[in-house]
Structure 1
Amino acid sequence: MQMNDQRDRAVALRLIAAGVVYPNGTRALHSTSLDFAEGAFTVLLGPSGAGKSTLLRSLNGLVPLSEGHVETSRLGVVRGTRGWREHRRSTGMVFQQHQLIGRLTAFANVLTGRLGHHSTLRSLLPLSPAEKHLALDALERVGLLEFALRRADQLSGGQQQRVGIARALAQAPNLILADEPVASLDPATSERVLALLHDICRQDGLSAIVSLHQVDLARQFADRIIGIGGGRVVFDGPPKDLDEAAIRRIYGGTAPTPVHATRILETTP
């Protein structure tokens, strides 16, 4: 079998010549092409303002592309309102600030992950017993079943982020996007939450793309690290290749030199 065939079949998500210019004229992402492997845990690494959140959010249309395309193995090039809705339905999103509804219980927050699977009218009606079971199972997987009926604003930061992970799992996604999911947590909690997300993605065979600014966590959990600096890819490789020179390219004050970043790195079992 040809290597190219294997690589093509391994692509879960593809970013094609994608760029983002904000309405004020700021170019947040220069033309970028990236392939993301099926089942891989990919970390976007870089300082604040580097463009990693812009890149991540462009992958599900939360930040619209100014040029280029997003392509998935299921949908091909994602186009139009219907295409983006379908893509988001199978893409779980974990946010930095949790984005929970504080007055609702953990269980009710997790159930909101099912709303994208229904029409607007259907979403006003009670969800099915099967979906409620799915939400409870997701809470159990993140170790919060006993807190299912506790209000979200009564949970700790780490617990709230685990509810956010459970909500993403309740979507039954093919892909998880996590935007600085541990930035607001202390180091010990950060490691536990990221380890939980990593283990769940491994168990379920989910592709994950996670933006981080912590080099040590990227090295610990990533199959592949994509370094972002100045809205460009300046590093793309496995954690073992993230040496001091690469870190300087990502975090240094000088203008970065882009690298070609379309290859796929195989996922370790």
Structure 2
Amino acid sequence: MIELTDVSKTYQGGVQALGTTDLSIESGKVTVLLGPSGAGKSTLLRCMNLLVTPSTGTVRVEGVPALESRKDLRHHRRRTGMVFQHHQLIPRYTALRNVLLGRLGYYSFWRSLLPFSRSDERIALESLDRVGLLDKALTRVDNLSGGMQQRVGIARALAQQPDLILADEPVASLDPASARRVMDLLRRVCQESGITLIASLHQVDLALEHADRIVGLARGRIVYDGPAAGVTDADLRLIYEGAPDDSRSDAPVRAGQDTLAAERS
């Protein structure tokens, strides 16, 4: 569905966030980009819809001739829902109004200045229902919990009726219980609708529990690529050995080892 060829990203000042990368993503699967903070996960994820423009290489998407024209890029982004770490909601808007923003990609600039159609409202309400928040449709999102706000963000992505959802550290700001509920929900709704899900995570236990495929990154390079069920302790050490000093704790590796031990028992 998505193919990255020789993609890299160097930011201003010569900071290379992503080394030369080749990656193909299969449709209908859950792929998790796993690694410590600063490994290049978010940069790689955002290159997939050109929210970050690669310094080198090409991104090809099934059904789109190229991503070089504004028309083709707009088409790709309309098919691609985005879930962010910090929700990116408008606090004074209701949950319904925030979800309706997911329909803007279907309109021209001038049409977007007019009220949303009843069809759009139905799609938005159905999306809220799928994440269990239909009863909060008319509640301002700044009156919702962090976990509920992230579910509103998922509903907004679903309202696009996407083929692909990119989730950039979607549970990093949540407590462990809320994080597991959000990941359970995200995987379930994507599987039910046949949506391809690519998520960046640094929580090993959640990655192994929810992913079909793990792409492990360290220092801007892919160091592991394979099924989640095949991840070993050695793979986790390879992924996390490139962590910066402030995140080289053994906790992520221990979490992965505990999960693997539970599965083997």
Same structural fold, with TM-score higher than 0.5 when normalized by the shorter chain: yes
Separation in 1 of the partners of 2:114 and 2:131?
27
Separation in 1 of the partners of 2:197 and 2:12?
29
Q: Residues 109 and 254 (structure 1 numbering): CA distance in 2 closer, same or farther, change over 3 Å?
A: closer
Counterpart pick for 2:125 among 119, 128, 136: 136
Counterpart pick for 1:223 among 212, 226, 230: 212
How do 1:97-116 residues align onto structure 2 when only pairs under 5 Å count? 97-116=86-105
Counterpart pick for 2:84 among 65, 80, 95: 95
* Paired AA for residue 65 in structure 1: P
* Paired AA for residue 173 in structure 1: P
* Paired AA for residue 241 in structure 2: G
Match of 1:146 in 2: 135
Separation in 2 of the partners of 1:82 and 1:173?
17
Separation in 1 of the partners of 2:57 and 2:166?
20
Separation in 2 of the partners of 1:56 and 1:225?
13
- TM-score (norm: length of structure 2): 0.90
TM-aligned CA deviation for residue 79 of structure 1: 1.2
Match of 2:229 in 1: 240
Match of 1:84 in 2: 73
Separation in 2 of the partners of 1:254 and 1:220?
22
Separation in 1 of the partners of 2:203 and 2:72?
34
Separation in 2 of the partners of 1:194 and 1:113?
20
Superposed CA offset, 1:144-200 (max 9, x none): 000000001000000000000000000010100000000000111100000000000
Contact 2:95/2:140, CA 8 A, preserved across alignment = yes
Separation in 1 of the partners of 2:208 and 2:50?
28
Match of 2:186 in 1: 197
* Paired AA for residue 18 in structure 2: L
TM-aligned CA deviation for residue 80 of structure 1: 2.6
Instruction: Name the SS for the 1:120 alignment partner.
Output: coil
Match of 2:8 in 1: 19
Contact 1:69/1:77, CA 8 A, preserved across alignment = no
Separation in 2 of the partners of 1:145 and 1:129?
16
Gaps of 5+ in 2: 245-265
Contact 2:65/2:72, CA 8 A, preserved across alignment = no
Superposed CA offset, 1:1-49 (max 9, x none): xxxxxxxxxxx11111101111121111111111100101000000000
Separation in 1 of the partners of 2:65 and 2:80?
15
Superposed CA offset, 1:62-84 (max 9, x none): 11111111111110332132222
Separation in 1 of the partners of 2:184 and 2:140?
25
Contact 1:14/1:36, CA 8 A, preserved across alignment = yes
> Are 1:72 and 2:61 an aligned pair?
yes
Match of 1:42 in 2: 31
- TM-score (norm: length of structure 1): 0.89
Separation in 1 of the partners of 2:30 and 2:117?
32
Separation in 2 of the partners of 1:24 and 1:77?
29
Superposed CA offset, 1:105-127 (max 9, x none): 00000000001110000000011
Match of 1:184 in 2: 173
Instruction: Name the SS for the 1:149 alignment partner.
Output: coil
Separation in 2 of the partners of 1:233 and 1:62?
20
Moved more, 76-85 or 59-68: 76-85
CA RMSD of aligned residues (A): 1.1
Identity of aligned residues (%): 55
